[in-house]
């Protein structure tokens, strides 16, 4: 633990700065994730294992970059949750902890899920698997891991929605933002959760969460451009925060 003197020397971080850190992290999380999804959609042919494996072999470097992009996206997601937790925990500590916990679970699921992508790449590019299982068998094995990776993304959809419920509540109650932003986040949360159940219960259901989740992009852009409307003096929100450095020093990031 740090001493009181050390605490006093920690730099002050204003709510507006925290908001912009969160907004930039939000956007930096989204860009590599979208890139990785686009790469996989281009290389993976759900109905043709042989074509998928040939595509992966021919674009192995691009496939590896997409793998790294997924890892980077997860790290930015955690940083986004950290900044938003520090910004909004004064509104309702339990809701802020729930928000951060859902992000932590989502990131853990995502990181474990990338092992399936890595396994598909290894099988597709390593001749010993073809020798051991035959070309058709190794192709089917690589495709199985790609299918598992896709199923893992479906599980993540649930948590992509769940974290937005406490976040939307905190945004509405904080006084930092227009209430409409919080409402849009709640709509996005419901859309991701509904998408999860649709994908799980009705695999042929259309994909709609990206459209209904546009509120997330609006919120991230608002954080970067506008920051926050700091409440008038005497309101419950603290004027500045010292806590981000403390979290790194004491390793007390909530999970």
User: Could you report the per-residue pLDDT of 189-214, keeping only the tens digit for each?
Assistant: 999 999 999 988 887 777 777 677 78
Does residue 225 fall inside a structural domain?
no
How distant is the alpha carbon of residue 230 from its chain centre?
27
Q: Full-prediction pTM beyond 0.75? A: yes
Give the helix ranges, DSSP H, for 89-230.
93-125, 127-162, 164-174, 179-201, 209-212, 214-225
Does residue 196 fall inside a structural domain?
no
Measured CA to CA, the distance from residue 252 to residue 185 in angstroms comes to 27
State whether residue 241 is helix, strand or coil: strand
Does residue 7 fall inside a structural domain?
no
Does residue 66 fall inside a structural domain?
yes
Does residue 191 fall inside a structural domain?
no
Does residue 220 fall inside a structural domain?
no
Roughly what angle, to the nearest 10 degrees, separates helices 15-43 and 49-58?
120
Does residue 89 fall inside a structural domain?
yes
Count up the domains in the chain and report the number: 1
Does residue 69 fall inside a structural domain?
yes
Q: Would you say residue 253 has pLDDT above 60?
A: no
Range of the domain at 129: 13-162
DSSP 226: T
Measured CA to CA, the distance from residue 44 to residue 12 in angstroms comes to 48
């Amino acid at each position: 633990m740090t001493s009181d003197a050390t605490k006093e020397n920690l730099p002050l971080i204003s709510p507006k700065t925290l908001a912009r850190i969160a907004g930039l992290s939000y956007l930096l999380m989204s860009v590599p994730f979208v890139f990785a999804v686009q790469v996989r959609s281009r290389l993976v042919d759900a109905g043709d294992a042989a074509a998928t494996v040939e595509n992966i072999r021919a674009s192995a470097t691009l496939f590896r970059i997409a793998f790294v992009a997924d890892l980077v996206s997860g790290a930015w997601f955690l940083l986004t949750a950290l900044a938003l937790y520090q910004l909004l925990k004064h509104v309702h500590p339990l809701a802020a902890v729930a928000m951060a916990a859902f992000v932590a679970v989502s990131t853990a699921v995502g990181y474990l899920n990338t092992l399936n992508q890595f396994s598909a790449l290894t099988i597709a590019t390593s001749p010993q698997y073809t020798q051991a299982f035959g070309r058709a068998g190794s192709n089917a094995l690589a495709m199985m891991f790609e299918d598992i990776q896709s199923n893992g993304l479906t599980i993540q959809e649930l948590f992509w929605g769940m974290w937005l419920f406490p976040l939307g509540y905190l945004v509405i109650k904080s006084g930092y933002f227009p209430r409409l932003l919080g409402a849009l986040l709640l709509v996005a949360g419901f859309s991701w959760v509904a998408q999860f159940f649709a994908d799980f219960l009705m695999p042929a259901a259309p994909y709609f969460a990206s459209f209904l989740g546009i509120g997330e992009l609006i919120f991230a852009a608002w954080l970067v451009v506008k920051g926050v409307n700091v409440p008038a003096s005497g309101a419950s929100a603290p004027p500045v925060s010292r806590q981000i450095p403390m979290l790194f020093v004491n390793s007390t990031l909530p999970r």
